[in-house]
Amino acid sequence: MVSQEIIHFIEQIGRDKGLDKEVIIDAIKAAILSAARRRYGAQDSLEVDMDSETGKIYLYAIKETVKKVADPGKEIALKDAKELEADAQIGDEIKIPLETEEFGRIAAQTAKQVILQRVREAERKRIFDEYQNREGELVGGVVLRQEKGNAIIDLGRTEALLPKREQGFRENFRKGEHVRAYLLEVRDPGKGPLIILSRTHPEFLIKLFELEVPEIGEKIVEIKSAAREPSGRSKIAVISHDEEVDPVGACVGMRGSRVQAVVQELRGEKIDIIEWNENPMVFVKNALSPAEVKKVNVDEENQSMEVIVEDDQLSLAIGKKGQNVRLATKLTEWRIDIRSFTDIEQAGSPSEQDAEDEAEGVGGEAEEVATAEQAEEETPTEEVEEEAPAEEAEKETSAEEIEEEAPAEEAEEETPAEEVEEETPEEEGDEDQPEESEEPSQPEEEDKE
């Protein structure tokens, strides 16, 4: 390459790639050095200088001044060194000029390849540094093509990848369409920076509202958190630092103009805007809107809440396939269990159930103790009951003996009774005789009278 060609090459590459002049000059130096080592040998110490104004290139071989040369590639005799530099001394490094024209066609082609490679590396590094500092920003580009569902977006100086997993389920991009996306990640795989975009990230929703709502940019209204579902529904929690500004109304806009602009960008995604509250119970109630919450039981230890609603509000609170409660859980970072009053009446609340379980546990222990005590008490009772039949048997035996003795005694008693009865007629006979003797005596007395 002649000097004018090199200057023209530097200017063209700088315009096309947006690179600094010094970067391109360094690349040219490295290319010429690589070609020179192929020509003169890799063992030689070579150096390249270049005039950035004229484009003239100077190639030198660096050798050490010695008395006796042992390695011609790295050493030079003092006599020869003095011819190049009159004040040369032993140990000095002498620059020996070399002809660049000797490289030939192959050397020039190698130099060109190295220059282009160095330029590409410098361009990749510049793009990587530029977009790495822009992670988390909103970027815009034009759709170049679709590859297996992934969209390739032209950002101007480079291309970016919008994976299918980071696209909304309603989105279908056309070639040449302008799109906005969230810069999710910048990777350096070695062949060039890989820029990953996203349209489903919650931060993308926040960035869109920041563009549409001036109060957010002025720090009057703040978006505290956001949650999104791939099926096309989102929730954001907002708070106002000015009592006179309604945060929800500021995000909705006049006749819904602001929120509708965001909905159109998201291809019809439904967005719920709720007011953030530092009280977790109030925040959870707001997050479950449009459902009406009647009661909330908080378990701070497990970071969970039991939400009780009317029976007709249960399906609304849960949402289609649990969508509403999932979004509320992501938004509030609390575990939420939704139950209706009918469920509470049938099964009881967790607190009551726990109390019942504890009561059952205590009752069970009491029953076990009572059973053990009863078993101890029943053991002697059984022994007494076993002894009782023996005593009853003895009593029955004695009773039978008494009954057997009783007839004998009755018989003995009956025997004298019969004897008495037998004796009684005799006595009666004896007693009848005086009566007969007395009756005739009465007339005698009457006669005497």
What is the C-alpha separation between 192 and 186, in angstroms, rounded? 10
Nearest CA among 75, 105, 103 for reference residue 90: 75
Average pLDDT over residues 265-282: 92
Residue 370 counted as domain residue: no
pLDDT digits 0-9 by tens, 159-201: 899 999 999 887 888 899 999 999 999 887 666 678 999 999 9
Per-residue pLDDT for 333 more than 70?
Answer: yes
Average pLDDT over residues 93-106: 68
Residue ending a domain, among 198, 217, 249, is: 198
In sequence order, the β-bridge partners of residue 339 are 308
pLDDT of 133? 86
- Locate 25 and state its tokens: 């000059």
Residue 337 counted as domain residue: no
What is the C-alpha separation between 1 and 8, in angstroms, rounded? 11
49 three-class SS: strand
Residue 51 and residue 4 in contact, taking contact as beta carbons nearer than 8 Å: no
pLDDT of 445? 40
Average pLDDT over residues 142-167: 90
Q: Are 105 and 11 found together in one domain?
A: yes
pLDDT digits 0-9 by tens, 288-332: 988 999 999 999 889 999 999 999 999 999 998 899 999 999 999
Residue ending a domain, among 198, 225, 241, is: 198
Q: Are 18 and 119 found together in one domain?
A: yes
Residue 261 counted as domain residue: yes
Per-residue pLDDT for 360 more than 70?
Answer: no
Q: Are 70 and 181 found together in one domain?
A: no
Residue 185 counted as domain residue: yes
Residue 32's alpha-carbon distances to 51, 333, 349, in angstroms, are: 14, 61, 82
Q: How many helices (H) and strands (E) does the chain have?
A: 13, 15
> What value does the mean pLDDT of the chain take?
75
Q: Are 116 and 37 found together in one domain?
A: yes
pLDDT of 386? 42
pLDDT of 116? 75
What is the C-alpha separation between 168 and 269, in angstroms, rounded? 9
Strands (E), 43-177: 46-50, 57-66, 75-77, 93-98, 138-147, 150-154, 159-162
Residue 221 and residue 237 in contact, taking contact as beta carbons nearer than 8 Å: no
Name the more confident of 416 and 43: 43
Name the more confident of 256 and 108: 256
Q: Are 8 and 116 found together in one domain?
A: yes
Nearest CA among 239, 220, 242, 342 for reference residue 286: 239
Name the more confident of 65 and 196: 196
Q: Are 30 and 80 found together in one domain?
A: yes
Percent of the chain at pLDDT exceeding 70: 70
Residue 311 counted as domain residue: no
* Residue 214 lies in domain: 205-276
What is the C-alpha separation between 211 and 215, in angstroms, rounded? 10
In sequence order, the β-bridge partners of residue 153 are 143, 160
Count of other CB atoms within 10 angstroms of residue 370: 11
366 three-class SS: helix
| Residue type at 347 in one-letter notation | A
Nearest CA among 149, 143, 210 for reference residue 180: 143
pLDDT of 426? 41
* Band (62; pLDDT cuts 50, 70, 90): confident
1-5, 20-24, 205-209: which range is least confident on average? 1-5
Residue 224 and residue 245 in contact, taking contact as beta carbons nearer than 8 Å: no
Crossing angle, helix 202-212 and helix 257-265, to 10 degrees? 140
The pair phi, psi for residue 39, each rounded to 5°, is -80, -45
Q: Are 121 and 14 found together in one domain?
A: yes
Q: What is the 3-state secondary structure (H, E, C) of 95-136?
A: EEEECHHHHHHHHHHHHHHHHHHHHHHHHHHHHHHHHHCCCC
Name the more confident of 421 and 269: 269
The pair phi, psi for residue 294, each rounded to 5°, is -95, -35
Q: Are 227 and 165 found together in one domain?
A: no
Q: What is the CATH number of the domain that holds 239?
A: 3.30.300.20
Residue 362 counted as domain residue: no
Average pLDDT over residues 234-262: 93
Q: Are 140 and 186 found together in one domain?
A: yes
pLDDT of 151? 92
Q: Are 145 and 209 found together in one domain?
A: no
Per-residue pLDDT for 254 more than 70?
Answer: yes
Residue 267 counted as domain residue: yes
Q: Are 11 and 126 found together in one domain?
A: yes
What is the C-alpha separation between 194 and 431, in angstroms, rounded? 156
Domain count, the chain: 3
Q: Are 21 and 118 found together in one domain?
A: yes
Query: 394-425 as b/e, with b when 16 or more CB fall inside 10 Å?
Result: eeeeeeeeeeeeeeeeeeeeeeeeeeeeeeee
Residue 329 and residue 335 in contact, taking contact as beta carbons nearer than 8 Å: yes
pLDDT of 108? 55
- The sign of the CA dihedral 277, 281, 284, 289 is negative
What is the C-alpha separation between 290 and 272, in angstroms, rounded? 9
Q: What is the CATH number of the domain that holds 142?
A: 2.40.50.140
Residue 91 counted as domain residue: yes
Name the more confident of 147 and 412: 147
275 three-class SS: strand
pLDDT of 327? 94
Per-residue pLDDT for 204 more than 70?
Answer: yes
Average pLDDT over residues 341-359: 61
Average pLDDT over residues 373-385: 44
Q: What is the CATH number of the domain that holds 104?
A: 3.30.1480.10
pLDDT digits 0-9 by tens, 212-224: 999 998 999 999 9
